[in-house]
Amino acid sequence: MAARLPYLEAVPAVLEATRRLVRPETPARLRLWLAATLLITAALLVSTSLVMARVQHQVRVIGDEAAPQAANAADLYFALSDLDAQVARLLLTTGRDELAGTRIDALGAYRERGRQVDAALQSALATGDSPELVLRLLNGVGDYRERVWQALTAGPAAPGYYTQATNILHLDLLPAATSLREASEQRLSQAYEAERATQTAGVILAVVLGGALVILLIALQVWLARRFRRVLNPALITATTLTVLLLIPLVGVLVVQDRALAEARDRSLVPFLELSRVRAVSYDAAADTSRYLISDGLDLYRQDFDRKAEALQSGESGLAAAAGGPHHSDQMLDRWRAYRAGHERIVKLADDGKRAEAVAALTGIGRGDAAFDFSYYDAAVAELTASRRNDFDVTLRDVRLLLTGWPYVPAAVLGLVLLLVPLSVRKRFAEFR
Q: How far apart are CA 177 and CA 170, in angstroms?
A: 10
Residue 23 located in a structural domain: no
Residue 6 located in a structural domain: no
The span from the first CA to the last CA of the chain, in angstroms, equals: 41
In 3D, which of 323, 190, 188, 192 has the Cα closest to residue 261?
192
Q: What is the tally of structural domains in the chain?
A: 1
- The overall pTM is greater than 0.95: no
Look at residue 307 in the predicted model and tell me its pLDDT: 93
Mean pLDDT throughout 209-224? 90
Residue 433 located in a structural domain: no
Mean pLDDT throughout 208-224? 91
Residue 5 located in a structural domain: no
Helix spans in 94-130 (H) = 100-126
Look at residue 86 in the predicted model and tell me its pLDDT: 92
In 3D, which of 283, 341, 359, 357 has the Cα closest to residue 103?
359
- Which amino acid belongs to residue 9? E
Residue 292 located in a structural domain: yes
The pLDDT tens digits of the residues spanning 122-139 come to 999 888 878 889 999 999
Mean pLDDT throughout 340-360? 91
Q: Kindly tell me if the per-residue pLDDT of 317 is higher than 80.
A: no
Mean pLDDT throughout 401-427? 90
Percent with pLDDT over 70 in the chain: 88
Mean pLDDT throughout 143-170? 86
Q: Kindly tell me if the per-residue pLDDT of 322 is higher than 50.
A: yes
Q: Kindly tell me if the per-residue pLDDT of 4 is higher than 70.
A: no
SS3 317: coil
Mean pLDDT throughout 293-301? 88
Mean pLDDT throughout 280-302? 91
Between 105 and 427, the more confident residue is 105
Q: Kindly tell me if the per-residue pLDDT of 2 is higher than 50.
A: no
Residue 276 located in a structural domain: yes
Residue 212 located in a structural domain: yes
pLDDT band at 1 (very low <50, low <70, confident <90, very high): very low
Residue 213 located in a structural domain: yes
Mean pLDDT throughout 167-171? 93
Between 392 and 10, the more confident residue is 392
Poorest-pLDDT segment among 9-13, 43-47, 107-111, 312-316: 9-13
Q: How far apart are CA 311 and CA 318, in angstroms?
A: 6
Look at residue 12 in the predicted model and tell me its pLDDT: 66
Q: How far apart are CA 99 and CA 188, in angstroms?
A: 44
Q: Kindly tell me if the per-residue pLDDT of 6 is higher than 70.
A: no
- Contact status, residue 236 vs residue 38, Cβ threshold 8 Å: no
Average pLDDT, rounded, for the chain: 87
DSSP secondary structure string for all residues of 178-230: HHHHHHHHHHHHHHHHHHHHHHHHHHHHHHHHHHHHHHHHHHHHHHHHHHH--
pLDDT band at 233 (very low <50, low <70, confident <90, very high): confident
Range of the domain at 120: 42-428
